[in-house]
Amino acid sequence: MYIIGNGFISTNFAFLQAQHPDVLLFGAGVSNSFCEDAREFRRDTELLYSAIRHCLKHDLRLVYFSSAGMVYGNYEHEVREDGPVFPRSAYGRHKLAMESVIRASGVRHLILRLSNPVGPRQQPHQLLPALYEQVRRGFVEVWSGAHRDLIDIDDVVALTDALLYTDFERETFNIASGYAVRVETIVDYLEERLGVFVLRNFVDRGDAYQVCIAKLRAWLDPALFAHFDPWYYQHVLDKHLFTAQSQDEGVVPAQRKVGV
């Protein structure tokens, strides 16, 4: 596997480099979903063009990570790969444009629309690090009604790895747990685990959607999804909360039985 990028996604796929010799994984790109800088999008676009040309020249499969939340927009129902898309941000429109470029190029590819991956080496502005820091400081701005589907980066890697052992090409898949959780619920859980009191400022900017993974489940081993349940987000937070805490001496969360 050839990997482009050295950020959160790329570093977590590094151990697969010895596998899938016909794959180029595009792990670079604009990491901040609030970005509106045309120069950042232009750099990302040019890098993707080069990656596509390289794949076409050497007959490689391209794996491209898109964004479920930013591409689909705001929905009150499940979002599916073959459904409508109404991106409401510059970042979402950029991701959708890059998907179109890939499909039109004729390159062998998999487009993976990620929900909210969680794991080590995330940037401070990403969801869990940002929420953790706000909860630790005791004040959180909550988008009222917002839902997020958290997925362990290790599960992202496992699901992607499994897809690459199939014959799928020129396909788009949602990569998520299938369980959207209210952001207020995530904050509540972090508050309890850290043993702190948090002031909340609710802002009416919430977006709610449920990422459907029926297509993914239909083609992969059911064992890969056995641990996905309504309390999965708690397992993810418990697992990676300690990664964030290792940077803050003296912060030890209260113990709690998951799912209670």
Question: Do the Cβ atoms of 35 and 125 come closer than 8 Å?
Answer: no
Could you give all domains of the chain from N- to C-terminal order, each with its CATH number? Answer: 2-244 (3.40.50.720)
For residue 252, what pLDDT is reported?
A: 37
Please tell me the pTM assigned to this model. Answer: 0.89
User: What parts of the chain have a pLDDT lower than 70?
Assistant: 75-76, 205-206, 242-260
Q: Which residues contact 99 (CB under 8 A, 6 or more apart)?
A: 64, 66, 71, 111, 172
